[in-house]
Each structure stands twice: as structure tokens, then as C-alpha cells.
Chains A and B, each alone.
Chain A
Amino acid sequence: MLHTLHKDWLGNVRGDLLSGLVVALALIPEAIAFSIIAGVDPKVGLYASFSIAVVIAVTGGRPGMISAATGAMALLMVSLVKDHGLQYLLAATVLTGILQILAGYLHLGSLMRFVSRSVVTGFVNALAILIFLAQLPELTNVSWHVYALTALGLGIIYGFPLIPKIGRNIPSPLVCIIAVTALSLITDLDVRTVSDLGELPDTLPIFLWPEVPLDFETLKIIFPYSLSLCVVGLLESLMTATIVDDFTDTESDKNKECRGQGFSNVVAGFFGGMAGCAMIGQSVINVKSGGRGRLSTFVAGLFLIIMVVFLSDLISVIPMAALVAVMIMVSIGTFSWDSIRNIKEHPPSSSIVMIATVVVVVLTHNLAIGVLIGVLLAALFFANKVGRFMLVRSHKPDTDSQYYEVVGQVFFASSDAFVRSFDFREVNEMVTIDLNHAHFWDLTAVAALDKVVMKFRREGAEVILVGMNEASRTIVDRLGVHDKEDVSDILDAH
């Protein structure tokens, strides 16, 4: 244990320190931008990012992943802040954390296996679109100066890394912010700046109990918000954890990550921060910059608060156009362009799941609902596909009898086809139905079989069922084959 602890924290000190610094610089504009999305002061997002990054570095299950205030979470709290104010948001954040800790102890992280790849892609794309859409208010009904500054900012962000040597060693979003700010100060442009949007932090965060009445009424207000925050937070965190797993070719502890997210949100809520989760874009930046261990996340949080507290005067004059440019970069980097290019090659059902997830999220601004729809659609498509693996063969041993052999999966999606496969018009004295090579998965299948037997008997035939026991062994709920050793025998027998 000490061995892994040592490796997680001190296995890659130089890389972690440098990447932590890069991430901290990239986190500042994002935290401010996400506070603005949620409708709270920039300091709420900045305090949240600091608390979450520092706590998750210790408690998380995925070293090297960056968590802080995020757009996905900010979008969910907009109406809560508008209707009830900041204190209710803080209370909801604490409750979100508690729910996530519970989810961690109940091992709900393993439910992620029901979220298919198409849903994940849809989630990521929807997230990118939402981050982009959230920038539009800053770009509508403004003077041409804002467009010029944003375009300049984007030019710097993508152009600067092309410069040899220094281009790769100085974070280009930082260069963008400094250059755009300097330009707007020198030319004295009348554009919106960060200070127009609310208070920046001038002290370290302090412990505060959210000022809400501790009663059922409060719970009724915050619980629905906390629940969707909890779900979206865990979804994005676990997805990001899988992405970082792939990058580093290492495993992470998903349930520990759930609990860690919970602890960090509880702490964030008590220190005046909004709920957050893992960030796909920032985690990519962290790994790309050489970050691998817990130290990188910790350092990112620490540098962030140090810079913000001591440089708040400088931060307040940053034009919004510079932040918008950074956020557009984040949304471009988060979007999975591959999924658009490959849309022709992928099976249509997968593309439909992906697109449905995106559309629902963009319409509802709620990633939880989008994912739910995506998962349901994917399950239906799957049931439909498996339902096709059913076949009824028949032959006539002699003139008065008929022999049917059922092969494949019989369940709710294929039971109609199952019933239709029998010829009830034919006159027979004896009908044999061989079920040795069939699986009956649910009650619908059993009811369909009953129906077939009854129909034959009404026509005056005697019905013999062969292999019923074998076929019904797969009614998993009753017999629980999934935890018996002979499960492979049952499935291989066919």
C-alpha cells in the first residue's frame, strides 16, 4: 500500500509539477467562465476548483485526472441559483457530495457498464456543444471589437504552439489571455471584463455553513438538483477516468473515485464553492503536459488559488473575449470529431443512439436526461438485435404429427415472432416442440409458449414439450444462473 501511495504521489514529481502549473493556468479562465454559466460570482467557481482539485487529489481513485468546477454541472444549477440564490446552491453541493459518497459505497460505479460507447460519445459531444453555446451570449449584440479580440485569441491559442521551442513550453491559452488583455488595456477598448461579472476572491476560502433552513422544505428544493448533479458528476468523472485509464494504460478504482468526488463536493460546498466533477479537457491537457500522479491534481488546485488570490486585480481586467476564446478551444478539444467522420461506417443504431443523446442534452441542457435516453435506446436496439437470434425449424415425421425445434433466444422482443412461427392451421394429432436449443429469458417467453400449447390443444392436437427444463434455466431472475459455476455450460449447450 505504501508502495502505491509513494508511486501515486512522488512517482513523477517533475512532470506532475509542470503539468499542474499548466493545468492551473488553464483552470482559471474555465472556473470563471463556468461560474458565469451558473450565474454566480467568479469566486464561487474558483473556490470550488481549488477545493475539489485538492481534495480529489487525496481521495480520488484515478491519479492524474483533473476535477474542478465544470460546465456540465454549472448548466444544471442555473435555475436553482436564479430562483433560490447562492446559499441553496451550496447546500445542494453538499447534498450532491453525500449522494455521491453513498453511490460509491453502494458500488453504483459498476452501473457504468450499461452506458455504451455511443452514449459516451454522445455525452462528450453534447458537453462540447453546451460549452460552446454557453459562450454565445458573450458574442451576441456586442461591438466588432469583441469579435476581433476573440478571433485574435483563437489565433494565438492555435498558432502559438507552432513556434519552435517556446511554443511548446509556454501555455498558449495564457499567452492569449495576456496578449488580449494587454491589447484591450492599451487601446482602451470598451469591452466587458471579468470584473463586470461579479466578485473575485481576495482571501483563501473559509469554512461556512450554508445559510439555509435545515428543514424538509429545503430538501424538497435542493434534492432534485442534487440528484441530477450527482448523476452527471459521476458520469463525467467515470468517463474521464476511463479516458485517462486508456491514456496511461493503467487501471483506476471507479468506486473509490465516486466516493472521492463525493468528499470533494462536500468540502467544496462548505468552502463556498459550487459542485464540480472531473474535466475531460483538463485531464487531456494534464496527461499531454506530462502529468501522471496525484501530485499534478493537487498542485493544479494549489497554484490556482495562489495565483487567483494574489493576482485578482490583474484577473479582473481580463476581457471576456479572451475567456471566450479559451472556452471555444476547450469545446473544440472536447468534441469527438472522429464520431462525425465515422458516422457512415458505424452501424446506424449506434449513430442513432449517439445523435439522440446529443439532441436530448442540447434541448434539455441536462446531461443526465440525455444519457438516460441514450442508455434506453441502446438497450432497445440491443434487445431488437438479440431478438433476431430465434428460429423455429419444423419437419413431419409422419402424416399425423409435427416436430418443431426452437433455436435461440425467446424473450419479450422475440415472443411474437416465436408464436407466429407455428402453423396452427395444419391438422395434427401430435405436436412435439423441442426446446433443447432455446433460451427462455422471461415471463413473456413462457406466456408465449403457453399460448402456443393452448392453441394446438384447441385444434385437437396433443402437445409434447421436450427440453423445457433446459430452456427455462435461463430465466435468470428466478434461478440466478449468473452466479452459478455452470453458467457457461448452460449457454454453451446450444
Chain B
Amino acid sequence: MNQIIACVDGSRVNDSVSAAAVWMASRIHAPLTFLHVLEHTDSAMNGDLSGTIGFDAREDLLSELIDLDSQRAQLELQHGKLILEAVTRRAEGLGLEVSAIQRHGGLTETLIEYEPVARAVVIGRRGEAHEGFPSAIGSHIEHVLRTLQRPVFVVAENFQEPQEFVLAFDGSQTAKKILDLVVRSPLLEGLTCHLVMIGNADKERKASYDASVEQLTLSGFSIVRAELELQGSVVETLVDYQRQKKIGLTIMGAYGHSRIRQFFVGSQTTGMLQRSLTPLLLLR
């Protein structure tokens, strides 16, 4: 359980994913694995709407479908190999321990298979299917985030190594656990931490905020206190702050609430995924 798994496909976010994965792997000295999943898509054939079935209709249709699938699969396989080769070579040039895996199946199912050996997963904000839709998030992201119990690093295009990071703090148990993870990990050593608390805090929450600041300072982080007024929604406030200060990384807990609550209240995580254009490190 020590590998960084980076999910690559043929999309524009690919370079970002590999850069982010390289950054992570070199900071925590973990082996890096690039994963390319060949998903089975039901690609409908382009239109035989004749509605006839002739002699050996079933056999003919089956062999036709198999031919189509095999052609497409071979192309995708070659394409995937090239992608993997490119990112692997680059990472190896930086002296990292790199491997590449190509698998058939769904992305989430494949990640579940590799979860036991994974320390963290790096994934693009959106993949091949959604290029050109600025606010769309990838079809897999939410599913992956809800299923995996490992940290997931979601990156957009143009990843740059962060010097500072925003840590969203709401005084909950989850927030404290995340704080512990941050303090223990070598990933963020030496980065400036903006500990953000939004809205008017009661005494208790204030106290736990102060305690957290102290904990981080003791661990050697330089801290920027950011107690913000709520402007619009929590997500908006957080994104605004981060944009103003040009901070390149946000850390938060993912999907802490049930699906039912999400249906009525909406999810902060989904909101952040849609709004934020900077990398998000989501912890479970």
C-alpha cells in the first residue's frame, strides 16, 4: 500500500496528471504506477435501420459486432500503450521508480482492485469524454471518490507544483482527522498552509481552530490564518479566497455526508470539483 496510482487517458489533462503524480511520488518517495483503463463502451453501430433479419441474422450480426469491437479495441490498445510509454519515460527520466499497467474494465472497478497497493490516486478533473465543457466534471470522478478509501488528487490542466495550500476547516471530527493526515505526511512539508474557516464561529469551534493552528505550527508549517466571512456559499467563499491569493492546492474531506443529504443540501465536494480550477486533494 505504498504506490501512487495515476490514471491517464488521451485527454488534455494527461500532462497535468503525470506532472502531479511525479510531484507526489518524488515528495513522498513512493513508487509510481501509471494506469490506463480500456473501458468497454457500448458503441452503437451507425445505422442499419432497415429492420430486416435475413438468413443467419444472429450469427451475422454477432460476427459483425465482434469485428467492430476488435478493431476499436486494437486501436485503443495501441493508443493507450503510446500514452503509457510517453508518461513512463518522462517519469523515469526524473529518477523515479515507475511502472505502467493497462487493464480492461471500468475505471472504478479497476481502481478498487488496486486499492490495497495504492497510497493515493491521481486523476484528471475530466477525461476524453468531456473536453470542451468547462464546468463539467468527469463521469467517473464522483463514483471513484465515493468508492475509494484512499486520498484522491484531482487535477485540472496546467498543473504547477504548489508552494502554498488551502486547508478547509469546519471544526468537525473529519476536519481533525484530515489535519492529522496532513501533519503526518511528508507530502506537504515546507509548504505554507492557509487554514481557512468560514462563517461565524462559536467558542468551541474557535478553540479547536486555535488548537489546530498550534498543531500545524508545532509540526513546522508556516501558517496563514484565514477566518473568512461567508459570501454566498461556502464553496464560493473558498474558491474566491484561493483565487485572490493564487494558491495552487486545496485540501478537504470528500463526501462526508450521505447521498440523501446531498440530494437535498447539495454536496460541497461536487461544488468544489465544479468551481475550482486548481488541484484538489480529497481525503476520506
A interface residue numbers (CB < 8 A to B): 3, 11-12, 14-15, 18-19, 22-23, 25-26, 157-158, 160-161, 167-174, 243, 246-250, 280-281, 284-285, 287-293, 329-330, 332-334, 336-338
Contacts and interface: CB of A to CB of B under 8 A. Distances in A.
A289 B52 contact: no
A284 B64 CA distance: 12
A160 B51 CA distance: 11
A160 B48 CA distance: 12
Contact of A288 (B48, B55, B69, B143): B48
Contacts of B260: none
Nearest to A171: B51
Given A3-B143, A171-B49, A288 B44 contact: no
30 contacts: A12-B44, A18-B47, A22-B51, A160-B50, A161-B48, A168-B47, A169-B50, A173-B51, A174-B51, A247-B62, A249-B65, A280-B58, A281-B53, A285-B52, A289-B49, A290-B44, A290-B46, A290-B47, A291-B44, A329-B52, A329-B54, A330-B53, A332-B53, A332-B55, A333-B54, A333-B55, A334-B57, A336-B56, A337-B55, A338-B56
Interface in B30-63: 40, 42, 44-59, 61-62
A391 to B, nearest CB: 40
Interface string B142-184: 0100000000000000000000000000000000000000000
B53 A288 contact: yes
Contacts of A290: 44-49
Given A11-B42, A249-B40, A333-B54, A284 B61 contact: yes
Nearest to A248: B42
A173 B52 contact: yes
Contact of B42 (A12, A280, A332, A336): A12
A404 to B, nearest CB: 50
- 7 smallest beta-carbon distances between A and B, as pairs: A333-B53, A171-B51, A15-B44, A290-B44, A161-B50, A333-B57, A292-B42
A332 B54 contact: yes
Interface in B47-87: 47-59, 61-62, 65, 69
Contacts, number: 106
Given A3-B143, A249-B69, A292 B62 contact: no
A293 B57 CA distance: 21
A419 B55 CA distance: 52
Given A22-B51, A281-B53, A292-B42, 20 more contacts: A3-B143, A12-B44, A15-B44, A18-B47, A26-B51, A160-B50, A170-B50, A174-B51, A247-B62, A248-B65, A250-B40, A284-B61, A285-B51, A288-B48, A288-B57, A290-B45, A290-B48, A330-B53, A334-B53, A338-B56
Contacts of A23: 51
Secondary structure class of chain B's binding surface, majority of residues: loop
A161 B60 CA distance: 16
Given A168-B47, A289-B47, A290-B47, A247 B61 contact: yes
B58 A336 contact: yes
The size class of the interface chain B forms with chain A is 20 to 34
A247 B55 contact: no
A168 B53 contact: no
Contacts of B44: 12, 14-15, 19, 290-292
A290 B65 CA distance: 11
Contacts of B69: 249
Greatest chain B CB density within 10 A among A18, A246, A288, A334 is at A288
A26 B48 CA distance: 14
A137 to B, nearest CB: 23
Contact of B58 (A158, A243, A249): A243
Given A11-B42, A246-B62, A172 B55 contact: no
B65 A284 contact: no
A160 B49 CA distance: 12
Nearest to B61: A288
Nearest to B139: A3
A173 B56 CA distance: 18
Nearest to A280: B58
Given A250-B42, A330-B53, A289 B48 contact: yes
Given A12-B42, A12-B44, A171 B59 contact: no
Given A247-B65, A250-B42, A290-B44, A284 B51 contact: no
Nearest to B55: A337
Contacts of B53: 281, 284-285, 288, 329-330, 332-334
B61 A172 contact: no
B57 A284 contact: yes
A123 B53 CA distance: 18
B54 A158 contact: yes
Nearest to A287: B61
Contact of B49 (A169, A248, A332): A169
